[in-house]
Structure 1
Amino acid sequence: MTRTLGVEEELLLVDGSTGEPLAVAGAALRTAADGSDEGAGVEGELMQQQLETGTAPVSSVDDLLDELARWRAQADEHARSAGARVVALPTSPLPVVPRTTPDPRYREIAEEFGITQAEQLVCGMHVHVSTSSEDEAVGALDRLRPWLPVLTALSAGSPFWQGVDTGYASFRSQLWRRWPSAGSPGPFGTPGAYHGLVAELVDTGAIVDAGMAYFDVRLASDYPTIEVRVADVCPRVEVSAAVAVLARALVERAAADWAAGEPAPDLTPVVASLMTFRAARSGLAGDLVDPVTRRPRPAADVVAALVDHVAEPLAAYGDRDLVDDVVASLLAEGTAADRHRRVAGDDRDLAAVVRDTVALTHAVR
């Protein structure tokens, strides 16, 4: 089968000059038209200082690049109508008091989770990859889990939070892990085991519904897809697209391994969490945990191992050139987190970081 993919991007609403987040999602969405029948469009999110875009499902990387640019521009048009801009920042560099969207479900989550919810003004990127059946989806999910922290490292772009340098390349991923259902459970083996765990989580009363099964990779509820949820939203659309096609290639390789009867890696949730911590802490600037040996290894070597692991599907879909170009630029110039720190400089000019990222978010390819 030809696997389609689609991308959801959460974008921060900011004052384009000062960089301050603005709680104007409601006003911006009043100008938003309905999305297509395929689910593409602009929507609200947990906090009033953010919007979410979703692309239509596509097959080619060129179409994905066009879709990402299209919906960023559309979201920015709506934001401008409310005196704001949208920016692909995973966290606000400047101090902010997040404001919860006035939605009954969000209010219930706020009441249940307190400060964990109140501080969740974070913007990620979620990649949906089509699958032929739930059996295949769970088989692929079980087999791609060890490689997900590499996607976190490639996309890392949230070193600043509430006006301070956190010391992390992706602090968004650490904030996200405060949810009790976040992380990388598995392997599952069967769809029944997967759905059984989700039902058990809901039955505990510790999450309000199945939509709060905030796994690093999960079965989507509304579409026949796997949803990969580990990436920071990326300022450059080329990086977003590269991360997305790497996710598709991981699903393709993992599904083939499942079909061939290859066993799923025995990766416990605790070790998976430590692998993600390492990726979030240093991005591509230090070691990552090798997905095969589970030992430290230079990030460049682990990224090369990922590309080699999925070389066949990358070539089959025509994605290899983009991935090679993006990986080379990230290894040479650093991740978005590295750029943010350079732009901030010794004076810690966080408004400059936001302005620079606004420009990158809407740069013409």
Structure 2
Amino acid sequence: MRTVGVEEELLLVDPETGEPRALSAAVLAHAERDDADQDVFEKELHEQMLEFATHPQSSMESLRAEIARCRKEAARHAGEIGCTVAALATSPLPVSPAISVNQRYQWMAERYGIATREQLVMGCHVHVSVESDEEGVAVIDRVRPWLQVLLALSANSPFWQGHDSGYSSYRSRVWQRWPSAGQTGIFGSAERYHRLVSEMVATGVILDDGMIYFDARLSRQYPTVEVRVSDVCLRSGTAALVATLVRGLVETAAREWRAGREPLDHSVSLLRLAYWQAARSGLTGELLHPATMRRMPAEAVVRALLDHVGPALEDTGDFDRARSACEELLREGNGATVQRELMERTGSLRDVVTACVRHTQG
């Protein structure tokens, strides 16, 4: 059974006002004194961010518990410094991001200017094990049109600098400002994948292969495919659902490759339209069906994803739980829906943030 790991980026906020706090260095220093958490939390681009990485899990129930545990540990360490954590993909309240003291991040700030300063966005990255680079690239080629559905499910960033952005996932729009981010064409082989990465680094536009920000890529450190399309999810259960669906997509794609089935040959231009539509409407409107690239109700497209990965999820015993979680999400709304409902009810973005702090910890 393929193992799965999750990386989540959380926003550090004041527990009373909801305003972002640039305290990641202090929170990390506190976590490093805890032997159990020394390899869990990491520095990110901005001081208002805190990242954690779970250990690889084979059981999705274990992964969900691990995500919930890491979130609670993050809140505990932050609480010792006078702040807390919120699983928000952008800050609803106005913020002036502070770039972390780090040679790499300083290089990026000088190189990319305002695009770096505005990258206070929090995502969720899912790692799924693969047997080889060849299998990994075959998977990347075949999951391309389906990843936009994960973006719609996870969308959790409707507000930007104190205003409603009009998007369900504005984080994904900000992320596209990196020159190496986004959708890819079909590679066809691991050799072609690695050749393109080498050519991109050789241009000097990006620092190194750590800046290959494809929506799905081969991990630099682990024998995994890393899917990077999702917003950080408001609830840990949604994050576990996204991870479950990613594992289903990876296994389904690997089976198609072994059976000699070619990937859907959608152009990058069409994929960009599909991702834009998912970022705009989330689960509240229409999405582009991954097979036909024609508009359909979001509910129908989510069910098409479940049908696509169904056999793989049945084999791991995850199908019923994934279907139930998708139905609950369609019924109750994703993070963007919850945030907008909170804003409509309270009229206060501060109240939105403080309520989302509670959602973050379940």
Q: When the two structures are superposed, what TM-score results if normalisation uses the length of structure 2?
A: 0.97
Shift in CA distance, 116/346, structure 1 to aligned 2, threshold 3 Å: same
Which residue in the other structure is 2:353 paired with?
354
Which residue in the other structure is 1:30 paired with?
29
Partner Cα distance (1:346, 1:126) in 2: 32
Q: Which amino acid aligns with 1:265?
A: L
Q: Which amino acid aligns with 1:59?
A: S
Percent identity between matched residues is: 50
Mark the runs of 5 or more structure 2 residues left unpaired by the alignment: none
Shift in CA distance, 36/127, structure 1 to aligned 2, threshold 3 Å: farther
Matches within 5 A, 1:74-113: 74-113=73-112
Which residue in the other structure is 1:123 paired with?
122
Which residue in the other structure is 1:293 paired with?
292
Q: When the two structures are superposed, what TM-score results if normalisation uses the length of structure 1?
A: 0.97
Q: Which amino acid aligns with 2:330?
A: L
Residue 238 (1) aligns with residue 237 (2): yes
Partner Cα distance (2:249, 2:2) in 1: 11
Partner Cα distance (2:64, 2:359) in 1: 14
Instruction: Tell whether the 8 Å contact from 1:220 to 1:227 is kept in structure 2 after alignment.
Output: yes
More divergent stretch after superposition (161-170 vs 199-208): 199-208
Shift in CA distance, 22/300, structure 1 to aligned 2, threshold 3 Å: same
Partner Cα distance (1:308, 1:353) in 2: 35
Residue 310 (1) aligns with residue 322 (2): no
- In the alignment of these two chains, the number of paired residues is 362
Matches within 5 A, 1:315-330: 315-330=314-329
More divergent stretch after superposition (263-272 vs 46-55): 263-272
Give the secondary-structure state (helix, strand or coil) at the position aligned to 1:64: helix
- Please report the RMSD computed on the Cα atoms of aligned residues, expressed in angstroms: 1.6
Shift in CA distance, 39/225, structure 1 to aligned 2, threshold 3 Å: farther
Which residue in the other structure is 1:66 paired with?
65
Instruction: Tell whether the 8 Å contact from 2:32 to 2:38 is kept in structure 1 after alignment.
Output: no
Which residue in the other structure is 2:215 paired with?
216
Partner Cα distance (1:319, 1:294) in 2: 27
Which residue in the other structure is 1:147 paired with?
146
Give the secondary-structure state (helix, strand or coil) at the position aligned to 2:181: coil
Partner Cα distance (1:173, 1:12) in 2: 16
More divergent stretch after superposition (286-295 vs 39-48): 39-48
- Per the TM alignment, residue 347 of structure 1 is displaced from its structure 2 partner at its CA by 6.1
Matches within 5 A, 1:274-293: 274-293=273-292
More divergent stretch after superposition (205-214 vs 215-224): 205-214
- Per the TM alignment, residue 107 of structure 1 is displaced from its structure 2 partner at its CA by 0.3
Partner Cα distance (2:319, 2:149) in 1: 17
Superposed CA deviations along residues 48-81 of structure 1, whole A, max 9, x for unmatched, are: 0010010000001111011101111111111112
Which residue in the other structure is 1:175 paired with?
174
Partner Cα distance (1:249, 1:300) in 2: 19
Superposed CA deviations along residues 3-50 of structure 1, whole A, max 9, x for unmatched, are: 000000000000011110000001111111389999950111000001
Which residue in the other structure is 2:341 paired with?
342
Which residue in the other structure is 1:332 paired with?
331
Partner Cα distance (1:182, 1:145) in 2: 14
- Per the TM alignment, residue 261 of structure 1 is displaced from its structure 2 partner at its CA by 0.7
Superposed CA deviations along residues 233-286 of structure 1, whole A, max 9, x for unmatched, are: 011111100011100000000000001110111122221111100000000111
- Per the TM alignment, residue 186 of structure 1 is displaced from its structure 2 partner at its CA by 2.0
Instruction: Tell whether the 8 Å contact from 1:156 to 1:337 is kept in structure 2 after alignment.
Output: yes
Give the secondary-structure state (helix, strand or coil) at the position aligned to 1:32: helix
- Per the TM alignment, residue 133 of structure 1 is displaced from its structure 2 partner at its CA by 0.6
Partner Cα distance (1:302, 1:142) in 2: 20
Instruction: Tell whether the 8 Å contact from 1:5 to 1:248 is kept in structure 2 after alignment.
Output: yes
Superposed CA deviations along residues 207-231 of structure 1, whole A, max 9, x for unmatched, are: 1111111100000000000000000
Mark the runs of 5 or more structure 1 residues left unpaired by the alignment: none
